[in-house]
Amino acid sequence: MVQRETCPPHKRKEVEAKEDSSDVSRKNREQGEMWGIMTGNQSPVSKKRSSSSSDPPTGNLIEFGGEPSTSKASTWDSTRDAKPKDPEEPEGGGEKSEFRCCLLEELNRVPGCAMHLGPLSFSDQHTVLVNVAELNNVGRIKAQGGQNMWDGHFVKMPYAVESTVTKTVFLLTEKQQRWETIRKHLGSLAKSKSVTPLEVEKAIKKYNPKYEGLWTFDGLHHFFKVLHDSEKPTYSRTLSRIAELALGCLIAAKRTFRCSDVGRAEYCNYPTINFQSLFAKWSDRKEQKFRAIFHYFQVVTEESTVPRGLVTFSRCHMSPFTDWRSCTALLPKLYITSEGLIEKDGQGMLQVDFACNMVGGGVLGNGLVQEEILFLINPELIVARLFTEKLGDNDCLKITGSQQYSKYTGYSDKFQWTGPHEDKTPRDEWQRRHRQIVAIDALHLKYPKEQYNVRNVCRELNKAYCGFKGEDDTHPDYYPAIATGNWGCGAFGGDPKLKALIQLMAAAEARRDVAYFTFGDKHLQMEILRMHNFLKTNGITVGRLYKSLEGFCEEIRIHEKQPSDLYSFIRSYLEKHKSKN
């Protein structure tokens, strides 16, 4: 289902998101570690306890120079009188500065904060590919009939009459209906109970004769070689079921799209959609990718496990937000941890996909970082590549309702598919999983210095704000928090400390709180937390923080080098420019 949502909010559902005991234990342990990092000592609470209960209670407010308070964390009151103090300074009898990290369970999640959607309906901005009456009246999902279109505004499907393939017969060339050729060869595979990779290769090349000498399938062949003998029958049977599914299902049939006489230039602004790039050159990474994708097809082709729900894809565009200097919003609540995962601990939140501007990045190639992993464990996301044009500077893609099928460990070369995931996420009234993912692409920097430029800072702020902004500004209480991390860092060259501030600023303007995952980097966790504490304690608005970033960029422009640590500069700048205007 492809749509844009325009439904008004109604009554809030009272459903609480629960955490298991292992999550609580982990957060208790982590808060104890944070105390040690901040003070250089063991937690004062732990000194008074036996070794079996050495962690400070979950949710305590930790104060410098004193024991953690037992008061439950609550929303900041930025109007209270607080003497500015750098949390990194040693204690010396002055006024206490509060160390603040909100609880994960304080943050909004769906379905707890979900809006009542009302009946599913068509609109100018909402294309629905299922029978609306069947869904609204009896909850049954049935395909909606439609009309084939063959122009640049629609995806050109292989079964359209305009889709042809040129063949040579007795030295004469003629055009034949592509779908007839596809149906013939995939139908043959579907009838077989056991299909080999060689049969798949031959079939695909039959309806893509133009690429017969160009496409290689050594990756797929090698995958079947490394399989244990006991696994091969299952995977061969799955190939047959994929062929059967491909005759009528978008994600499986993708291997037949955009691969013939239609000019490649027509699709140059879209991500590659063919699985051929995955089937080609072998690598160890591809073994794990094949396992994840084959598992997805094993699930959806078994009658007992086939999912019965809908997914929404919404491309959102926003005019540039140009008045960041005047923003009066205060930073949101922040939960930050070096442990945990966005898709696990951020369940029910708006989860950020650190996207490429061609959504999905290298998921069908050799790429295997955050976005590719996200698309592998939620393969329904891959279908977005079929109809999502390259994202512009003020665009994002929001995907609601996808299901997680796989578990994994590791990252990049250490990524390992570890088995099936049973997704128990509840569904909304439109039969979508309560999971929303937003794809926002950061700048891909050639030189790290490029990011310390006001124009580029604004670009990233606008991009993040486009992704974080809710549908209805009058009901921010319904907005789930944002689950994110080191967006645009790593291969894209971003400074994690700058990107964290940019996301916090955009979230503040969008009126959402933030859960931030540093993926094992405890030092970064504490750096961001200290900075957030400093800004909150001093009631620094987004506008004032933006001006300090302007100052940092100006220093670099003048001196042609980074003047100091970003966070140290911000503290110094704000101390010198205490005016609230």
In the set 199, 201, 345, 353, the catalytic residue is 353
Pick left, alpha or beta for residue 139 (phi over 0 → left; psi -120 to 50 → alpha; otherwise beta).
left
Q: What CA–CA distance (Å, rounded) separates 547 from 536?
A: 16
Other Cβ atoms closer than 10 A to 415? 20
Q: Active-site residue 353, yes or no?
A: yes
SS3 category, 409: strand
Contact 179, 158 (CB under 8 A): yes
State the Cα–Cα distance between residues 423 and 160, nearest whole angstrom.
35
Whether the CB-CB separation of 517 and 78 falls below 8 Å is answered with no
For 467, residues 6+ apart whose C-beta sits below 8 A from its C-beta are: 316, 352, 396, 398, 438, 439, 440, 506
CA distance 220 to 290: 8
Asked about 372 being catalytic, the answer comes back as yes
Nearest Cα neighbor of 429 from 91, 11, 88, 37 is: 11
Task: Check 199, 372, 428, 509 and give the catalytic one.
Answer: 372
Q: Helices 178-191 and 197-206 sit at what angle, rounded to 10 degrees?
A: 160
> What is the Cα–Cα distance from 465 to 121, expressed in whole angstroms?
28
Cα gap 290→275, rounded to integer Å = 11
Q: Is 471 a catalytic residue?
A: no
Q: How many CB atoms lie within 10 A of CB 77?
A: 8
Residue-wise DSSP of 453-495: SHHHHHHHHHHHHHHH--S-TT-GGGPPPEEEESTT-GGG---
Contact 439, 464 (CB under 8 A): no
> How far lies 93's CA from each of 47, 64, 89, 259, in Å?
21, 10, 12, 72
Cα(251)–Cα(402) distance, rounded to whole angstroms?
13
Counting every residue written for the chain, the total comes to 581
Angle (deg, nearest 10), helices 218-226 and 284-300? 80
Task: Write phi, then psi, for 397 (nearest 5 degrees).
Answer: -125, 125
Q: Which of 371, 395, 428, 495 is catalytic?
A: 371
Is the Cβ–Cβ distance between 196 and 236 less than 8 Å? Answer: yes
Q: Which residues are catalytic?
A: 353, 371-372
